[in-house]
Amino acid sequence: MISSQLLFLFSALGSINGIFLALYLFTRQSHRLTNGMLGALLLAIGFRTGKSTFYYFYPDIAVEFLQIGMSACLLIGPLTYLYVGFHLADLRQSAPGKHWRWHLPLSLFIIVIGLIFPYSQYPYIWHHVMRWIHVYWLTYLLLTGRQLWKSRILLTNTTGWVSRPALLLLSVYFSSCVILIAYMSTPFTSYIVGALSFTFSIHLTALTFILQNDAKVDASKKERYQNRKLIEEDALALLALLNQTMHEQQLYLNPNLSLTLLAKKVGNLQTTVSQVLNEHLKKSFNLYINEFRIQHAKNLLINESHLNMELVAERSGFNSSSTFFAAFKKITGQTPASYRAALASAPSSASPTGLDTPSASPQNHQVSSLP
């Protein structure tokens, strides 16, 4: 009796915590679409695993509740795909594509078809369709895996390890995979395994984040200890060396350029380089590098008019066109196409022939701002 109660508790724990966590995510202001998709995904999995738990212990449960749980499976795959897509767009600092709007309506349409043929009246249809619902879920997981593989460079930090934001992304994806495997293997295991796998996944992810946060705090303390203040003369000398190195070696054309690599090129700690950029230019490393890339892109847009935008982005050191468009609009206030069109319609204006140093002089650093 006690073991049965404990099994019920652990089975329902994931579903309950997932639903409460979803409600919390819906209230967050930052990255509303990304958090909204994750919240919706947790709700869908929560309903699915909640149905499994109650049906396992109370098989006389109303058939309407069974249908709600099984219909939730139609949303888990698309929501996993959309959450990963939105999260990757956040990492790129770009807007997500509009194609995502087609995925949820398709799943909702299938759910409406299910309402026309309810489980209470057509149980034999639902038993046969359930395996195809799992295939539908699996298809979206494969598409999501393809997204992650194509964007793998975004998921690592400067040391080559998985970054903290990517850790959540991968945890959600692999949790969805584990839960699907648990449900597809129920003929050989037990029906309650799916609910237990969700409880295990959600708490393992939380524990990983707690440990990761502790490691981050320790690293931050160590960095503060090493990050000693530079005197003004040394800081300006380092800025001059940074700009000279960027011009002569054109490091910004390397799409994989990192703060670690740049610091190594100028013979300084990455914390020192970051401190100088932030305190004297009021810029992050990404903004500093992107200003060189955008200046290079401006030259290409004017002097190489035969190049399309994808080639301009690639030759300017950007990993993708979407990142290029976002950075160009942020730094110049206009799109690459409008910039090219404006200068093309004004032939008398002076076109750039070389790179300018992006706000590197001491006179300019007071008006620069962080991205």
Within its chain, how far is the Cα of 69 from the centroid?
28
Residue 160 is predicted with a pLDDT of: 65
Q: Does residue 256 lie in a domain region?
A: yes
Q: Does residue 193 lie in a domain region?
A: yes
Q: Does residue 311 lie in a domain region?
A: yes
Mean pLDDT of all residues in 17-45: 82
Helices 164-184/63-92 angle, 10° precision: 150
Q: What is the residue-averaged pLDDT of the chain? A: 78
Residues 38 and 112 in one domain: yes
Residues 254 and 187 in one domain: no
Residues 184 and 36 in one domain: yes
Residues 292 and 260 in one domain: yes
Within its chain, how far is the Cα of 164 from the centroid?
11
Range scoring the smallest mean pLDDT among 51-55, 123-127, 362-366:
362-366
Residues 216 and 237 in one domain: no
| Domain finish residue from 191, 220, 249 | 220
Tens of pLDDT, residues 183-235: 888 878 776 787 777 777 776 666 665 555 554 544 454 544 444 556 778 88
Tens of pLDDT, residues 70-94: 788 888 989 999 999 888 888 777 7
Residues 290 and 180 in one domain: no
Residue 192 is predicted with a pLDDT of: 77
Residue 211 is predicted with a pLDDT of: 55
Q: Does residue 357 lie in a domain region?
A: no
Residues 73 and 149 in one domain: yes
Tens of pLDDT, residues 106-163: 777 878 887 788 877 878 777 777 888 889 999 999 999 999 998 888 787 666 677 7
Tokens of 13: 């724990």
Tens of pLDDT, residues 265-313: 888 888 888 888 888 888 899 999 999 999 999 999 888 888 899 999 9
Residues 30 and 176 in one domain: yes
Q: Does residue 356 lie in a domain region?
A: no
Residue 146 is predicted with a pLDDT of: 93
User: Is the pLDDT at 349 greater than 60, yes or no?
Assistant: no
pLDDT confidence band for 103 (50 / 70 / 90): confident
Domain that holds residue 94: 2-220
Please state the domain count of the chain: 2
CATH of the domain at 311: 1.10.10.60
Long-range CB contacts for residues 172-176, cutoff 8 Å, separation at least 24:
172/38, 172/41, 172/80, 172/83, 172/84, 172/205, 173/80, 173/84, 173/141, 173/144, 173/145, 173/148, 174/201, 175/201, 175/202, 175/205, 176/41, 176/45, 176/76, 176/77, 176/80, 176/141, 176/144
How wide is the angle at C-alpha 279 spanned by C-alphas 276 and 280, nearest 5°?
A: 70
Residue 370 is predicted with a pLDDT of: 32
pLDDT confidence band for 364 (50 / 70 / 90): very low
Which alpha helices (H) appear in the chain, and where do they start and end?
A: 2-26, 32-57, 63-92, 103-116, 123-150, 164-184, 193-226, 232-249, 259-265, 270-280, 285-303, 309-315, 321-332, 336-344
CATH of the domain at 200: 1.20.1070
| Domain finish residue from 173, 195, 220 | 220
Residues 328 and 270 in one domain: yes
Residues 285 and 197 in one domain: no
Residues 11 and 115 in one domain: yes
Q: Does residue 371 lie in a domain region?
A: no
Residue 54 is predicted with a pLDDT of: 80
Residues 209 and 238 in one domain: no
Q: Does residue 226 lie in a domain region?
A: no
Residue 30 is predicted with a pLDDT of: 66
Q: Does residue 274 lie in a domain region?
A: yes
